[in-house]
């Protein structure tokens, strides 16, 4: 069994070594880890750092395309039976991999989301907390599901599931698109509790804003009634 860990990266010179170190030190027992880093045309020293590192699959975009585009590139290069989305900014801790993988390995689910709302999230910014809850409520009402954290960066899939989904979004709207299309295809999303104790500030390079949240709501409505 192999798990492909796909890491979209843009200007993460301060965190890229740390997140790769954390991933390497997670014990997945008999599961092989394939670490795929997609650099989305970083303009700091991230690329130089990546090229100096060890045994990873490193893919370089020739221009900045967005997080969704970086994830889709990673999926194309993934050879594992299971894929984990992993942000590079240290907000999501790889120590939860075993818990996230358990429902899939036990044949209880094909899609797993790590829910910050079910775990500790005391340091989450209030506006992000409020926005996430509004978007999650909209998801539940529009698609008839019961999830708690649509916007989570910890999304885990069987690779065959992704082959069934036509993903078009290149930027942060990837999150509502993939959730909407999974639900429309009839996949049930299993949630696992994760803790969220290390949110990044805008001074530290956090990229998503309230404008993205508004666009995510509009995309949820769009995908409910069209492809």
At 209 the pLDDT is 79
| Cα–Cα distance measured from residue 167 to residue 169, given in angstroms and rounded to the nearest whole number | 6
How much is the pLDDT for 50?
96
Distance separating alpha carbons of residues 144 and 184, to the nearest angstrom: 10
Domain segments of the chain as ranges: 2-225
pLDDT for residue 167: 96
Are β-strands 189-193 and 111-115 bridged in parallel, bridged antiparallel, or unpaired? parallel
Decide: 135 and 220 in contact? Cβ < 8 Å.
Answer: yes
pLDDT attached to residue 201: 44
Q: What is the pLDDT along the chain (227 residues), one digit of tens a residue?
A: 999 999 999 999 999 999 999 999 999 989 999 999 999 999 999 999 999 997 899 999 999 999 999 999 999 999 999 999 999 999 999 999 999 999 999 999 999 999 999 987 666 667 778 888 999 999 999 999 999 999 999 999 999 999 989 999 998 899 999 999 999 999 999 999 999 876 544 444 455 676 888 999 999 999 999 87
What span, in angstroms and rounded, lies between the C-alpha atoms of 99 and 204? 28
State pTM to two decimals: 0.92
Q: Which fold has domain 2-225?
A: Spore Coat Polysaccharide Biosynthesis Protein SpsA; Chain A (3.90.550)
* CB atoms inside a 10 Å sphere around CB 215: 16
């Amino acid at each position: 069994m192999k798990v492909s860990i796909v890491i979209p990266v843009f200007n993460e010179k301060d965190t890229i070594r740390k997140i790769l170190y954390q991933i390497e030190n997670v014990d997945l027992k008999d599961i092989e880890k394939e670490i795929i880093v997609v650099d989305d045309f970083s303009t700091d020293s991230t690329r130089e750092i990546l090229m100096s590192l060890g045994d990873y699959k490193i893919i370089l975009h020739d221009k900045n395309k967005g997080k969704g585009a970086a994830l889709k590139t990673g999926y194309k290069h993934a050879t594992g039976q299971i894929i984990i989305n992993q942000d590079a900014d240290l907000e999501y801790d790889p120590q939860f991999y075993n818990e996230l993988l358990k429902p899939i390995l036990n044949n209880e689910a094909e899609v797993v989301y790590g829910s910050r709302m079910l775990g500790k999230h005391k340091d989450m910014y209030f506006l992000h907390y409020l926005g996430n809850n509004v978007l999650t409520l909209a998801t539940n009402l529009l698609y008839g599901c019961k999830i708690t954290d649509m916007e989570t960066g910890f999304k885990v899939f069987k690779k065959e599931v992704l082959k069934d989904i036509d993903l078009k979004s290149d930027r942060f709207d990837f999150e509502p698109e993939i959730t909407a299309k999974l639900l429309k295809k009839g996949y049930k999303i299993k949630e696992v509790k994760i803790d969220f104790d290390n949110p990044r500030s805008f001074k530290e390079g956090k990229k998503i804003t309230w404008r993205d949240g508004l666009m995510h709501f509009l995309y949820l409505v769009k995908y409910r009634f069209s492809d």
